Amino acid sequence: MICISLVHGRRTRIRQFVRPLLSHSDDIFWYLSELLVCFTFFDEQVGLEERREMVRNMDTIPGATPPPTQAFRDCDEKRPLSSFVTTSTRKFFQILQLPDSYLTQNVETWKENDHYQEALRIVQGLKVVNDCAERGVKLIQEYNSILTNDEQQKQYLLQLVQQHRHVLSDSKKTTVVSGLTGQPKLM
C-alpha cells in the first residue's frame, strides 16, 4: 500500500510503467485485515505519526469479534494504514505471543526497546505462506518434468509415492530402512 501511494506521488513516467499493477490493486490488498495490518508496525517505511495513529486506533476503534479474515475490498491507495487498525488488531500480538509493552511508549523510542527488537526479530523470521507454496509448486513442476515425460510413468510414480506414504510414517532413513525390511515388495 505504501508502495502504491509512493508510485502515485511520483513522476508520470513511473506511473505509466506501473499502471498495469495499479489497475489490479484490489488483488494486492487481499492481505489487509485487522490482524495482518500489524506487520506494518515493523516496517521502516511507515512514518512515526502513522504508527502513533495506529496505536491510538488499537485502543479506541472497536473491532469485530472475531476479527474478519476477509480482505478489505473497499480501499484505495490514499487510505491510511491506521484506518485498518482496531481493538481487534491487538490479537495479532497474542496469537504470535509477541511482546507489546513498547506500544505504550513513545514510537520514537521503539528501536531501542528490547521487547520491540524481540518482536521485530520474530516478525522478520516469519515466512509468507504464498511464497512458500509457490516455490513448492514450482519445485514439484520442475521435478515432475525432469523425471519423465511419459504420463504412464508419472502415474506409476505417484502411486508408488502414495503407497510409501501409507507404509512409512516419515521419510527418515532409519524409518525407511526399518520399514522396508521384512515388508512385502512395494508394487
Say how far apart CA 102 and CA 100 lie, in whole Å.
5
| pLDDT attached to residue 181 | 67
- For residue 7, give the 3-state DSSP assignment: helix
Note the pLDDT tens digit of each residue in 20-62.
444 444 445 545 678 888 888 998 888 999 999 999 999 898 8
- pLDDT tens digit sequence for 125-170: 987 666 667 777 787 788 777 777 788 888 888 888 888 778 887 8
pLDDT confidence of 187, banded at 50, 70, 90?
A: low
The three three-digit cell numbers of residue 103, written as one number: 506500544
pTM: 0.54
The tens digit of pLDDT for each residue in 85-98 reads: 888 888 989 989 99
CA-closest candidate to residue 116, choices 178, 50, 38, 21: 38
pLDDT at 77: 64
Q: How many Cβ atoms from other residues are within 10 Å of residue 168's Cβ?
A: 15
Nearest to 79 by CA among 174, 161, 4: 4
Q: Does the pLDDT of residue 71 top 60, yes or no? A: no
Quote the CA–CA distance of 117 and 137 in Å, as a whole number: 34
